[in-house]
Each structure stands twice: as C-alpha cells, then as structure tokens.
Amino acid sequence: MQTINYDALLKNAEYFKSIIGDSKLCAVVKNDAYGHGIERIARYLVDVVDCFAVGSAQEAEKISGLGKDILILLPQHNESLLLALKLNCIITVDSFETLEFLRYATEKQLCNARIHIKINSGMSRLGFDEADLSELLNKFSYCKSITIEGVYSHFWGDDILECDKQFNVFMRCVKYMEESLKKPLVKHIANTTGALLSSKYRLDMVRIGLGLYGYGDKNLSAVKKVTANVVAVRQVKKGDVVGYGGKYVCNTDRTIAIVDVGYAQGLARTLVNSKVLVANKRLFPIVSICMAMSMVDVTGASVAVGDEIELVGSGVNMSNNSNIIYEILCNLH
C-alpha cells in the first residue's frame, strides 16, 4: 500500500524555491509524477511552482486546467503533436525531423507554436549538436508560426567537473543562439543535482523532479511511503533454503517474516539484500522475492502476523547498484 505525504511535497518545493533565488521552478511531473500521481501532485504544487514539465501531450492534458505553462520534454509527432498545439504547451524541438513535423502541423492547423530548443551538451540522448545550430536557425526563416522561447539541456553527471564540461558547451550554444536571434531566451540545464551543486547552473529556470519527491538533499523529506504486511513468521533451521533457486541458505537458525509484496507489485528481484523497516523498529534484509510474497530475515526481533513493513519512505531507501531510487518510486506500488 502506498501513501503520499503532500505536506512533505510542499515543503520540498518551498525548500527549492528558497535556494534558487530568481530562477523559476519547473516541477517535473512526467511518468505519473515519478509514480506519485500526476494530477494530485500538480494540484498541490500549482501555487508554489512556476510551470510543469511532462513527457507527453497526454500527460499535459491531465493537468492543463491548472493555468500554468507546461513544457513537454519528449518530441511529439502526429496526434500527440496536434494535441500539444491545441493545449498551447511549450514543445521541445530536438531534431530537424521534429522541427519539420511541427512546421507542417502549424501550417495545417493554422496555429502558432511555442518551443524550447533541446541541446545535446554531452548526454547523447536528444538534442541538437553545437555544429547544427547555424543550419537550425537558418530554417527558422521559413517557420513564421513557430516562436523560440527557450533553450535547454540536461546533465548526465553528478559532480562539478562533469557538469562544468556540459555547462560550458551549453552556454556557448546559448550565446550563439541569443546573438543570432537578437533576443534573450529562457535558459535551463539544472536538474535536482545541478540545482543543488552550484548556483551558476540555475540560470533562468531549474527543472526539479526527484528532489520534489524527497531525494537528493538532507533537507528533503520522502513524499511516498510504500508498505506491506507480515502474513506469516517461520523459524528456519541452519542449512534450510529460503525462496527460489537455493540462493539463500541459512548459515544459522533464522527467523523469517513472509511479507505480502513481490515483483508483481514492482519489488524487483534485484532488490534482494536491500533493507526494509520492520514494525517501525529496525532495518532488516530481504532474502528472497517471489511474485506476490517476499521473505525478510527478522532474526532477533519480535515480529508478528499483521506487522507493517515499510519498503520506501522516510529513512528507507532500497536503491542499490541494480535499482536506482527513480525506478523504485516509479514501479513500486
């Protein structure tokens, strides 16, 4: 079972507002607000944040009545693009192909489009390379219905040295574009990590996703709590196998709690050995994960059927080398 702490959400948003100065706060609510529920999350944030970022026009439609600008981060084509135009979203243009789709759509619909240009500053995912910019800006002489409002990129690293390399590329691109267009653009590159690393990365706007949900800084509180319950407790002997595959063999007599959550509920099997909070007392390791049940080694604790097991929440973060917190938040329910 999951519960959402909306007070924590607002406090996290207000914390970022307090540190970013005059920069705008863009709340990233893509992919159902990282598994927290896009519609309710957006409604709670609407009076604190300046705008929202989503992954698709369909997501934008769910929060389009809130009166805030919505930036669609992924390229949109065909029906999704038409919906984005209808909603007056800010559309990402990341390639010449996307630009051509957009130009055709605005001409066909007799409408205008607001866009932010995506720059590839080193992540090699989406965006124009620096060498593309001259050709790109030349094409806008044929795109009278399209207005460039902003330019952005995305950090792949999480330290100053890595981010500085990308930041320098991005700022060269910004300088070229603003000089060519003879106007200032809304500039943004900082995600949660970037916004916390250095004030110089914050520019005109920061895009905060994970930080809103409570991760990345000691001043933040987890918004999502996911719990399950103990359905059985077994006393297991030395040498006994627990779970599939014989991967966990007891080296001493152990106490094992059977919990009503498994990979069908999003608890990936690679989370074996991660620790969960048992009966609000101590952290204990998961030793096996099945489809709808998991086994937790609770040796040394007094645990009973019905006790609550906290999988994600304040002080409980199961991320490991195989599963990052993003995946856990999006998948576990």
Q: Return the HEC string of 187-235.
A: EECCCHHHHHHCHHHCCCEEEECHHHHCCCCCCCCCCEEEEEEEEEEEE
Distance CA 8, CA 270 (A): 29
Q: What's 302's domain CATH number?
A: 2.40.37.10
The total number of structural domains that make up the chain:
2
Q: What is the structure's pLDDT at 142?
A: 84
**Res. 248 pLDDT band, cuts 50 70 90:** very high
Alpha carbon distances (Å) from 216 to 5, 41, 81, 195, 275: 17, 19, 33, 10, 19
CA–CA distance, 263 with 163 (Å, rounded to integer): 35
Strand partners, 128: 119
Burial status of residue 137 (CB atoms within 10 A of its CB: 0-12, 13-18, 19 or more): middle
Query: Is 84 in the same domain as 137?
Result: yes
| Side-chain-side CA neighbours of residue 267 (13 Å) | 29
Q: Give the active site residue among 30, 187, 224, 275.
A: 30
pLDDT, mean of residues 43-56: 98
248 is an active site residue: no
239-257 average pLDDT score: 94
Query: What pLDDT digit, counting tens, does each position of 268-321 carry?
Result: 999 999 999 999 889 999 999 999 999 999 999 999 999 999 999 988 999 987
Average pLDDT estimate for 199-205: 98
137 shares a domain with 25: yes
pTM as predicted:
0.95
Active site residue 152: no
**Within-domain flag for 85:** yes
**Both structure tokens of 159:** 């330290």
Q: Report the candidate in 235, 226, 233, 236 with the shortest Cα–Cα distance to residue 309.
A: 226
Q: How many Å apart are CA 147 and CA 141, to the nearest integer?
A: 11
pLDDT of res. 183: 97
Which residues, 6 or more positions from 212, have their beta carbon under 8 angstroms from its beta carbon? Answer: 9, 12, 13, 16, 27, 28, 45, 192, 223
Last residue within a domain, chosen from 213, 233, 248: 213
Is residue 312 in a domain?
A: yes
Mean pLDDT of 190-197: 98
* Residue pLDDT, tens place only, 213-243: 999 999 999 999 999 999 999 999 999 999 9
Pair 281, 264: CB distance under 8 Å = no
d(CA 2, CA 114): 37
Best CA proximity match to 67, nearest among 91, 42, 40: 42
Residue 68: pLDDT band by 50, 70, 90 thresholds?
Answer: very high
Domain match, 66 and 110 both: yes
Q: What is the pLDDT of residue 70?
A: 98
In a shared domain, residues 294 and 231: yes
pLDDT of residue 129: 98
Q: What's the rounded mean pLDDT across residues 35-50?
A: 98
pLDDT tens per residue across span 138-176: 999 888 899 999 999 999 999 999 999 999 999 999 999
Per-residue b/e over 153-179, b at no fewer than 16 CB within 10 Å? bbbebeeeeebeebbebbbebbeebee
Match 């009503």 to its residue by tokens.
260
Report pLDDT digits (tens) over 75-84: 999 999 999 9
The last residue of one of the domains, among 183, 213, 243, is 213
- Chain-centroid distance of CA 124 in Å reads 19
DSSP at 119? B
The torsion angles phi and psi of 53, rounded to 5 degrees, stand at -125, 135
Strands 224-236 and 254-259: antiparallel
pLDDT at 280: 86
Residues 25 and 141 in one domain: yes
Determine the 3-state secondary structure of 81 from DSSP: helix
Cα 257 from Cα 293, distance rounded (Å): 10
Q: Kindly state the tokens that stand for 67.
A: 């009166």
Domain coverage including residue 177: 2-213
Same structural domain for residues 125 and 56? yes
Co-location of 193 and 44 in the same domain: yes
Predicted local confidence at residue 315, as pLDDT: 86
**Digit-coded pLDDT (tens) for 318-327:** 998 788 999 9
Is the pLDDT at 251 greater than 90? The verdict is yes
Residue at which a domain ends, from 154, 181, 213: 213
Q: Which of 108, 175, 244, 247 is catalytic?
A: 244
Predicted local confidence at residue 113, as pLDDT? 98
Whole-angstrom Cα distance, residue 38 to residue 45?
A: 10
CATH number assigned to the domain comprising residue 56:
3.20.20.10
- Tell me if 100 is assigned to some domain: yes
| Each residue's pLDDT tens digit, 89-113 | 999 999 999 999 999 999 988 999 9
